[in-house]
Amino acid sequence: MKFLRFFGIFIALAYLPKIAFSQITLNTTLDPDGVTYKVSMVSSQSFMGNSAFIGSSQITLVVPHGSGDNYFQVSSPISPIPNMRWTFSGRADAPPENPDYDYLFFSFINNTLPFVRFDIIANQEVGLFTFKRISQCAGRVYVFNNQTDPFRFPNSMGINTGNSFSLSGAGSGAYSGNNTEQPLVNLNADNSNPCAGNEVTFTATPTMTGTYFFQWYVDDVPQGLPTANPVFKYLTANKETDFQVNVTVKLLESLSNPCDAYSTKKAIKLAVKGSPNVKIAFNGIDCMVLPTTISIKNDALAQYQWQEAGNVLSSETKNTLNVVKSGNYAVKVTKNGCVSTSDIVKVVGISADEKIVLEAGKDTTILAGESVKLKANSTNAIYFNWTPASSLSDATIQQPIARPLETTQYTITASNEAGCLVTASVTINVQPPLYIPNAFSPNGDGLNDDWEIENIGLYTDTTVEVFNRWGNTVFFSKGYSEPWKAEGVEITTTYSYVIKTKFKTYRGLITVFR
């Protein structure tokens, strides 16, 4: 990339007086064709003859930075003034001081015969040169401002940027400024060194009146769409360590022609102080036995102040707190000028003497259709609630009567006046009854050949005994793994039986058909 290091060539005419004051202002405009740019000058005083001799000049134009088709490229400059030859002498692309723009340098040295000389009439615009843009447009082209541009000398690239104009009648410093200055934007923050988690208000102030939009960025990330509001409120992240945030505002002119739209930026770097850790460590449960300890991460540089229900506990200034009664506790932590208050921790506790002890009783097995008393026991409990309640005599007493239709787990919840709750459970297993047929026919036809007793396999250690009419045992089984087949019975006969389970004894008659 070619850079122009400006130097002035001053052609002095010894017989001409030198007037040491600035007279010349510069301007650039975009023609209606949208691609032709005109650079012109206006003098506040007339210069005639030898006093109108222009020795040398450098003009710097500022153009939007782009890439690809949007990389701003120009044709060779052409001057409408006879023999005046302007040169596109170099450029500086996206310098760190103003990376959204490129700088184009145009120079003229009046050292070739015939010398260029023309009368300069006060307040009359003189076109110096034109050029065409041979790329896409990305915004306004304007004349560099020697006093306010971010890339003015000295700069990071060591380039002597800016505009200069030597006029024999006004001296080497004839350039005084620009006919049309571009607005800048000032940016202020109500706190440039905030604490993490705090809100900072930024206010953008254009240096010229006009209609503008403001696009805000945080660390180069756009914050929504452009807005007419020059005020931006930013909530800093709540971090424990120090960090930096760059907040930038981009000033946008409200113009319908995108090729002549102007923008400029201003940034503020916030040095955010880390916010102290305010997370209370507490793993307790409601109605735990007090006292207990709650704590916060210790930091030698921090100061602590505990509170209960908003009231300061003046003597509690350590990172731990011994809690002896129920309440709502919080801690305020101060570090490096930053103050943070923790979320409230609710501690609900009881003394050792108030602890609820609850037992629901032992699991029990009953026969279907029977009832059983639930034998729960407790201390320090005054309220009870059983679930499910549908098969209980009263679900709000400690020992109700249960009559479940199927195996059911019952849960009891006991509480005291403080609302502390304790739960326990007990299971009532429901055993289905035996179904005992009163006849069968062991004739080998595959129908009722055996004395099948339904559900007997659910009863362990059950005995089955069959007697003839004289009281003699004709069949005995423990467990009834194999059903009675009545082998040897040749005529239809009626027998008696006794079936003993751990729940009850069944007695009856059984007829064997032949």
pLDDT in tens, 302-326: 999 999 999 999 999 999 999 999 8
Q: For residue 10, is it within any domain?
A: no
The token pair at 494 is 């009626």
Residue 422 clears pLDDT 60, i.e. is over it: yes
CB-CB contact of 62 with 39 (8 Å): no
Q: For residue 164, is it within any domain?
A: yes
Res 286: pLDDT:
79
How far apart (Å, rounded) are the C-alpha atoms in residues 333 and 342?
Answer: 8
How many residues in total does the chain contain? 514
CB-CB contact of 509 with 438 (8 Å): yes
pLDDT in tens, 266-308: 999 999 999 998 999 998 887 888 999 999 999 998 999 999 9
How far apart (Å, rounded) are the C-alpha atoms in residues 254 and 238?
Answer: 36
Same domain for 303 and 261, yes or no, is no
Mean pLDDT computed over 96-124:
94
Same domain for 30 and 160, yes or no, is yes
The token pair at 493 is 């006969």
Res 414: pLDDT:
96
Mean pLDDT computed over 208-222:
94
Same domain for 28 and 114, yes or no, is yes
Residue with tokens 């319908």: 256
Same domain for 303 and 163, yes or no, is no
The token pair at 109 is 């040295």
**Amino acid letter at 422?**
V
How many structural domains comprise the chain?
A: 5
For residue 241, what is the domain's CATH number?
2.60.40.10
For residue 470, what is the domain's CATH number?
2.60.40
Of 413, 439, 437, which Cα lies nearest the Cα of 426?
Answer: 413
Q: For residue 3, is it within any domain?
A: no
Residue 270 pairs in a beta bridge with 245
A 10 A CB-CB count for 368 gives 14
Same domain for 361 and 451, yes or no, is no
Residue 2 clears pLDDT 70, i.e. is over it: no
How far apart (Å, rounded) are the C-alpha atoms in residues 180 and 174?
Answer: 17
What lies within 8 Å, CB to CB, of 51 at 6+ separation is 16, 17, 167, 168, 169
- Exposure string over 285-299, b if 16+ CB within 10 A, otherwise e: eebbebeeebebeee
Same domain for 36 and 172, yes or no, is yes
Q: Is the peptide bond before 32 cis (omega within 30 degrees of 0)?
A: no
CB-CB contact of 171 with 198 (8 Å): no
If pLDDT is split at 50, 70 and 90, which confidence band does 350 have?
Answer: confident
- Exposure string over 183-205, b if 16+ CB within 10 A, otherwise e: ebbebebeeeebbbbbebebebe
Res 3: pLDDT:
40
The token pair at 132 is 């065409």
Q: For residue 445, is it within any domain?
A: yes
Q: For residue 16, is it within any domain?
A: no
Q: For residue 65, is it within any domain?
A: yes
Same domain for 170 and 158, yes or no, is yes
Mean pLDDT computed over every residue of the chain: 91
pLDDT in tens, 50-89: 999 999 999 999 999 999 989 999 999 999 999 999 999 9
pLDDT in tens, 137-183: 889 999 999 999 999 999 999 998 999 999 998 888 899 999 988 89
Question: Of 178, 195, 210, which marks where a domain is finished?
Answer: 178
Residue 308 pairs in a beta bridge with 311, 329
Res 21: pLDDT:
55
Same domain for 31 and 172, yes or no, is yes
Q: Is 234 left (phi over 0), alpha (psi -120 to 50) or beta?
A: beta
Question: Of 232, 250, 272, which marks where a domain is finished?
Answer: 272
Residue 9 clears pLDDT 50, i.e. is over it: no
Distances (CA, A) of 512 to 97, 159, 306, 486: 113, 123, 88, 7
Dump the DSSP string for 306-343. Answer: EEETTEE-TT--SSEEEE-S-EEEEEEEEETTEEEEPP
Same domain for 285 and 338, yes or no, is yes
Q: For residue 5, is it within any domain?
A: no
Q: What is the pTM of this model?
A: 0.59
Containing domain of residue 362, as a range? 356-431
Question: Of 302, 333, 352, which marks where a domain is finished?
Answer: 352
Residue 440 clears pLDDT 80, i.e. is over it: yes
Q: For residue 149, is it within any domain?
A: yes
Same domain for 167 and 229, yes or no, is no
How far apart (Å, rounded) are the C-alpha atoms in residues 405 and 287?
Answer: 36
If pLDDT is split at 50, 70 and 90, which confidence band does 10 have?
Answer: very low
Same domain for 410 and 498, yes or no, is no
Same domain for 80 and 155, yes or no, is yes
Residue 20 clears pLDDT 50, i.e. is over it: no
Long-range contacts of 152-158 (CB under 8 A, 24+ apart): 155/95, 155/97, 156/95, 156/96, 156/97, 157/3, 157/92, 157/95
